[in-house]
A and B are shown apart, each in its own frame.
With several copies, the nearest count.
Chain A
Amino acid sequence: MGNLIVDGKRTDGRGLLDLRPLKLEAGTIKNAAGSSYIEHGKNKIYVAVYGPKDSHRYGTSMEKAVIRCRYHMSPFSTDERKSPAPSRREIEISKVIRDALESSLILDEFPKTLLDIYVEVLQSDGGSRSASITAASVALADAGIPMKDLVEAVAVGKVDGTLVVDLSDKEDKEGEVDLPIAFLLNENMITLLQMDGKMTVEEFKEAVNMAKEAAMKIKEKQKEALGKKYFEKVDEK
């Protein structure tokens, strides 16, 4: 402990509550029903949404669209080359991303269908699951899936004993706590919550509130990306 925060500044110069640079685009993949691209820190992630499409497969429901989600990292996305086969980490993250998004969507209009969300991490940095959720929600909106609200996610953490927002890779690895959270803000809901590392119950509550503030900022970026796509389309006419 000791050198990740100096004079209230983090190793990349950010203040405790600052987000890393975040760039979001909607409509990035030709064949997809909806798609997006996010750069958040060094994360570079594409998301494509396909469906809802009719399916007679085992596992569909008479009551709603069933969501499938794959979070996948390209072999060159990490410092050491990653095997292209899905790791246990990728399988778990695919599941929690699906769980983080489902409650934002209104799926009962689409019984007996499948809705596929494909996340491809071309380059990974701290907070890749959070960035994936933020981007996937934009891709779902781009696909016109009815939703209650956008979902945005960010990792809060504890570094040198201090709570900070939007962990970098270095902070994630050398810090004490990593706490990724996703919000459905207009319902005051948490749709993803994981935690690694030790903190008191009081610290935890403070961290959640910090994450919520950050999520509000991210939501603006989501709206911008969707607005820009709509605006440009009008422009093209």
Chain B
Amino acid sequence: MMPKKGPIISNLRKDQILKSLSEGRHIDGRDLTSQRPLEITPGIIEKAEGSASVKLGGTHVIAGVKVEVDTPFPDTPSEGILIVNAEVLPTASEYQEPGPPDEDSIELARVVDRGIRESKMVDFSKLVIEPAKQVYTVFVDISVLSMDGNLFDASSYAAVAALMTSSFNVYRMEGDVPVKTEDKMAMPLADLAVSLTFAKIGGSLVIDPTWEEEGIMDARLTAVYDSDGRLCAMQKGGSGGLKIDDVFQVVDAGKAKYLDIRKKIVEAVENAKSGN
């Protein structure tokens, strides 16, 4: 309903950030088109069917995948189910109260969900045990441990890497009852979604904003690209607007950048798999 309180940035600090940006640098020294250090570690939760820890600067996110069986939705009898949840934990900052997911956590979960769903990354047709009777339900749960801005990208990378390293027990129908077998199957994947978030701060358009930068930004734009560089999900955030030209600049900049990130995700996943 109501925007959440965040950190108050002093006018002095604000001026420092804006001056730095006007000189072509984030306040942490990066140039405007560089992400902060990105560390992707899949497989950290052994009890989950898939998992990944992502650190993006001071932001730290864990995604875990659990697979259950359930009846399919009536209108998609031959498709599995994906459910994405996110909780910005009260560990993440002093402004985060414990309780049911607030609007920020819900938006975060829904944007990550759309990136995965609309990129057609998960092949839902292969998550079926028996059509109209039993399908796999894939839960992707995101726990934000530490908050330092750009939760959308960090959470998206964590969810994507967790899915890419997921495998789970196959079920077989015995009469009307799904029975767990010892066979394992890997998560059926058909694409890879790469999220990129930009912020408009003062006159500058910058990638991967920190929490301080988000505190003084006009607006934010997240664009998600599939493996072919097509847009598959977008979300504008923040209480300000974006010039139409800014929006066009963002989608071009994202297209120029997404392959770099894609490579980092793929490498982290391959390292984790070969480490097994």
Contacts and interface: CB of A to CB of B under 8 A. Distances in A.
A205 B251 contact: yes
A235 to B, nearest CB: 20
Interface in A50-95: 50-51, 53, 58-59, 66-70, 72, 74-81, 84-85, 88-89, 91-92, 94-95
Nearest to B90: A118
A188 B242 CA distance: 8
Interface of B: 1-5, 44-48, 51, 58, 60, 62, 64-66, 68, 85, 87, 89-94, 98, 100-101, 103-104, 106-107, 109-110, 114, 117-120, 139, 141, 143, 145-148, 218-219, 221, 226, 229-245, 247-248, 251-252, 255
Given A122-B62, A193-B234, A88 B98 contact: no
* Chief secondary structure at chain B's binding surface: mixed
Given A122-B62, A191-B241, A201 B47 contact: no
A40 interface: no
Interface string A173-199: 000000100001001111111111111
Top 10 A-B pairs, shortest CB-CB distance: A76-B64, A189-B241, A48-B91, A195-B234, A193-B236, A81-B66, A75-B141, A30-B58, A102-B239, A76-B48
A78 B241 contact: no
Nearest to B109: A88
Contacts of A81: 66, 68, 139, 141
Interface of A: 29-32, 35, 42, 44, 46-48, 50-51, 53, 58-59, 66-70, 72, 74-81, 84-85, 88-89, 91-92, 94-96, 98-99, 102-103, 114, 116, 118, 120, 122-124, 179, 184, 187-201, 204-205, 208, 212
Contact of B98 (A30, A70, A189, A193): A70
A27 B3 CA distance: 27
A184 B106 contact: no
A192 B143 contact: no
Contacts of B3: 59, 66-67, 98
Given A48-B90, A76-B45, A29 B145 contact: yes
A125 B13 CA distance: 44
Contacts of B218: 103
Contacts of B1: 68-70, 94
Contacts of B60: 29-30
12 contacts: A67-B2, A76-B64, A91-B106, A102-B239, A103-B219, A122-B45, A122-B143, A123-B45, A188-B245, A190-B243, A193-B236, A198-B226
A179 B233 CA distance: 9
A47 B146 CA distance: 11
